[in-house]
Amino acid sequence: MSIEAKAAFVLVSGPFTDGRVWSDVAARLRKAGCEVHAATLTGAGTDTDTRTGTGTGGVPAGPETDLETHIADVLRLIDAADAPELVLVGHDYGIHPVLGAADRRPERVARIVYLDAGLPQDGDLPLALVPDHTVHALLASGSDGGDTPVPPPAPDGWQLWGSTAGLAEEQLALLSELSAPQSRGTFTRPLRLSGGAAAIPTSGILCTASGMTIDSVQALVAVGPPQIRALADPRVGFFELATGHWPMLSCPGELAEVLMAAAAGEGRRLTPPAEHEVPYGRAFLLEVPERPRVRTGRVDLHLPEGESPRPAVLFVHGGPVAPDARPTPRDSEFYLGYARYAASLGVVGATVDHRLYGIGDFGRAAADVAEAVEALRADPRVDGDRVALWFFSGGGLLTSDWLAAPPAWLRCLAANYPVLAPLPGWHSLEPRFRPVEVVAGAGRLPIVLTRAGLETSEMAATVAAFVAAAEDAGAALELIDVPNGHHGFEGLEQTEESRAAVAQAMHAVLGHLRA
């Protein structure tokens, strides 16, 4: 499709808002000759003219209104449109009904545009987008026992839902004026996708004041969850807008231009990582002997020479990882190397395949790790009173439970280039997983933290916040720096600097185990 072909758009905005929020953008697109349908989803708005850009006409919400209702709203717009193919634009929550509709009408969709939106997968809850913990708890528990809708923010409360950069006070007031309460069910019903829209080209428009840039996404391609790595597909193009979360109000002209460029298939492409750039794609940086390995469920034990029981280190992989990834983390050269290295130094080196497959899976992964710990401590070859836990990358968020209330048998907690606070867009992360907020509870638990000097800025910011909080709390923090190391440096920079850092961290952990 070219810009001259005059694309047809369906515009779906975030929570609480209706089709009127797109008025300036829609006017510019129509002036350029484009067909435009701005959705007013059930429960929002009052305009009843579906052909002038206000969508479904302000149908009142009922107790049964949920995400499927909003998917049906978008489907009606698609079915009523004149154009044979449409560009569906989903902003914030709006990406959920957009994806649901595209999944059911893939033959009518030329492109899907993610406008400062997440990457929800099949089974994900829109609840993940609710940033306020009070509202999150209300929705999750249904403690009021009814179907009370979620009220829209006051003008001074929109920053809880996204950056308000670029919006004047009168625009924030207008945003509240154009908003209505949103049905609870639209947040709590999971998105169901069959894969019907998997082949549709996509575009991402990042509002940089929200904290994410194209360069940031590129940096995460090699180490991020599967949905991030998939963004290096050549069918995906990216754009940036130097504004906050509501560009349809803060820069409607620029947004209209970017939407037309996206419809034409333009946008920056990401570069997929070469095999040698993937941390788990290379051999471990130290030569270590293979040791006997015992597998029990999701846990492997690499056994040292000599009599038992011995202290143990459980290595906890990062993620999210693809559920069908082969080898799994514990069979990768990376974690085999760490476990064998520990075993070569006289302790049990243990690994676990936990089920962190998406941002919403941290609770399940934490339960898998806790189960692995119990199995490890119960093994007669392990001294259950001398155990260390060692976390990597996105697995750093799983340190929260152990930092908040460290048990007596936990002799050390280590972390390499960890994520220690939610990254931009990780709204689905449960409030429980906030290491920065709970490190004050660690007391005198030794913490060995290895930092990569060339870490991405977003991840480095979480580490800096953790270090500051740990120092304020008087935690027993030992820092090991790798100035020239990237995230996953053990597989990327096999240098003397990297080898020395790994050896220093290992001997620090084993020193605490044997103290």
Give the whole-angstrom CA distance, residue 205 versus residue 262: 9
Give the whole-angstrom CA distance, residue 165 versus residue 144: 34
Q: Provide the angle, in degrees to the nearest 10, between the axes of the packed helices 333-344 and 496-514.
A: 50
Q: Provide the angle, in degrees to the nearest 10, between the axes of the packed helices 67-80 and 95-104.
A: 60
470 neighbors 439 (Cβ within 8 angstroms): yes
For 239, list phi and psi in degrees, rounded to 5. Answer: -135, 155
One digit per residue, the tens of pLDDT, for the chain of length 515 reads: 334 458 999 999 999 999 999 999 999 999 999 999 999 999 886 443 333 333 345 677 777 899 999 999 999 999 999 999 999 999 999 999 999 999 999 999 999 999 999 888 898 888 866 665 545 555 555 544 456 788 888 999 898 888 899 999 999 998 998 899 999 899 989 999 999 999 999 999 999 988 788 987 887 787 666 778 889 999 999 999 999 999 999 999 999 999 999 999 999 999 987 655 555 656 789 999 999 999 999 999 999 999 989 999 999 999 888 787 788 999 999 999 999 999 999 999 999 999 998 777 899 999 999 999 999 999 999 999 999 999 999 999 999 999 999 999 999 999 999 999 988 767 667 889 999 999 999 999 999 999 999 888 888 999 999 999 999 999 999 999 999 998 888 987 889 999 999 999 999 999 999 98
Look up residue 144 and give its two tokens: 């009021």
239 neighbors 267 (Cβ within 8 angstroms): yes
Closest CA to 317 of 515, 145, 490: 490
314 neighbors 376 (Cβ within 8 angstroms): yes
Give the whole-angstrom CA distance, residue 502 versus residue 392: 13
Q: Which residue has the tokens 């080209």?
A: 201
126 neighbors 100 (Cβ within 8 angstroms): no
Beta strands in 291-428 (DSSP E): 293-296, 299-302, 310-316, 348-352, 382-392, 410-416
- Helix, strand and coil percent figures for the chain, each rounded to 5: 40, 15, 40
Give the whole-angstrom CA distance, residue 402 versus residue 373: 11
**DSSP state for residue 165 in the 8-state scheme:** T
Give the whole-angstrom CA distance, residue 197 versus residue 99: 8
Q: Please give the model's pTM, rounded to 2 decimal places.
A: 0.70
Give the whole-angstrom CA distance, residue 471 versus residue 477: 8
Chain-centre distance for alpha carbon 33: 37
**DSSP state for residue 44 in the 8-state scheme:** S
310 neighbors 381 (Cβ within 8 angstroms): yes
- Top-level CATH class of 276-514? alpha beta
Closest CA to 463 of 473, 229, 453, 504: 453
For 454, list phi and psi in degrees, rounded to 5. Answer: -105, 30
Residue 236 is inside which H or E element, if any?
A: strand 236-241
314 neighbors 219 (Cβ within 8 angstroms): no
Q: What is residue 49's predicted lDDT score, i.e. its pLDDT?
A: 36
Domain with CATH 3.40.50.1820 in the chain: 3-263, 276-514
Q: Which residue has the tokens 């002997």?
A: 289
Q: What is residue 48's predicted lDDT score, i.e. its pLDDT?
A: 36
> CA of 230: how far to CAs of 101, 217, 271, in Å?
21, 11, 11
Q: What is residue 55's predicted lDDT score, i.e. its pLDDT?
A: 37
> CA of 14: how far to CAs of 19, 39, 115, 248, in Å?
10, 11, 10, 11
Give the whole-angstrom CA distance, residue 443 versus residue 403: 8
Beta strands in 317-446 (DSSP E): 348-352, 382-392, 410-416
Closest CA to 440 of 468, 480, 478: 468
Closest CA to 451 of 443, 459, 442: 459
User: Hey, is 245 helix, strand or coil?
Assistant: coil
Give the whole-angstrom CA distance, residue 247 versus residue 22: 10
Query: Quick one: CA dihedral 395, 401, 404, 409, positive or negative?
Result: negative
Q: What is residue 143's predicted lDDT score, i.e. its pLDDT?
A: 45
For residue 310, the cross-strand partners are: 382
Strands 293-296 and 299-302: antiparallel
Look up residue 370 and give its two tokens: 């806790």
CB-CB neighbours of 216 under 10 Å: 18
The CATH topology of domain 3-263 is Rossmann fold (3.40.50)
Look up residue 400 and give its two tokens: 């929260």
